[in-house]
Amino acid sequence: MGKLDGKVAIVTGGGRGIGKATAERFAAEGATVIVATRTAAPGQETVDAILAAGGTASLSAIDVGDREAVRTMVAQTAQTHGRIDVIVHNAAYIPMGPLGTVSDKDFDTMLNVGLKAAFWLTEDALPYFKKSPAGRILVTSSGAGNRKSIAGMVHYGALKTAITGFVRGAGLELAPYGITVNAIEPGLTDTYSLHANMTDDQISATAARIPIKRPGKPEEIAAGFLFLASEEAGYMTGQSFSIDGGSSLGDAVPLAMAGLQG
């Protein structure tokens, strides 16, 4: 038996990286997965991979930054499957640049996709979550803003700090219904987005400062989401968990440089 047998899960940003790995892992554990992604082609690749492995999945080509599109997707999911048990909100739009260089349009898009959509998905799915024996709302967050500041990512850090507020507040408010709300804060993770924004040399230099000395794998983040979606995590809510190779502990400095012996 899988840990999510019979459950219906929506995974936003499910076409690549962490979302793709999470959708595939959930399906392998018995969930029916709706892969929600703005760009249809990578989302369909995720669906095809799940179907080829014997799982159950379908594609919802959706811009989660569009309020009405979210409402329609949730309603269609409930109508088709009769229930919604898990939402993983992983979709993101990440404008990068120093203060004064990110346009209002990009800032608004980031907030719509990353923050407002978390509220919209929760609000629209709430009637179905209340009927679920174990409703789970899960969000991809970040250590940026919450545990450390990163130059050029002030806007993103502010967004993820707001996500922490959402997780804590919604976790408290929805707990009486048996619905849990949690987030994972991934560190540097080996995804399409990482390679699109950093050179190999930059990735290597950044990884060298991580205590575990490497980027994370999307599958490692997906394993965290699986645990939080499972019955085993039923007593955990309103929390944000780091899966970051120790990055939030500080920079990895050789013992000799710290005046210690290895």
| Enzyme catalytic residues | 156
**CA-CA distances (angstroms) from residue 13 to 9, 39, 82, 155?**
13, 9, 23, 20
Q: Which residues contact 165 (CB under 8 A, 6 or more apart)?
A: none
How far is the C-alpha of 233 from the C-alpha of 171, rounded, in Å? 13
The answer to whether 141 touches 240, Cβ cutoff 8 Å, is yes
Q: At what angle do helices 104-111 and 154-174 cross, to 10 degrees?
A: 30
Q: Where are the beta strands (DSSP E) in the chain?
A: 8-12, 32-37, 56-61, 86-89, 136-140, 180-186, 239-243
How far is the C-alpha of 21 from the C-alpha of 38, rounded, in Å? 17
Residue 98 burial (CB < 10 Å; 0-12/13-18/19+)? exposed
Helix (H, G, I), strand (E, B) or coil at 173: helix
* Residues across the chain: 262
The answer to whether 96 touches 156, Cβ cutoff 8 Å, is yes
Q: What is the DSSP letter of 260?
A: -
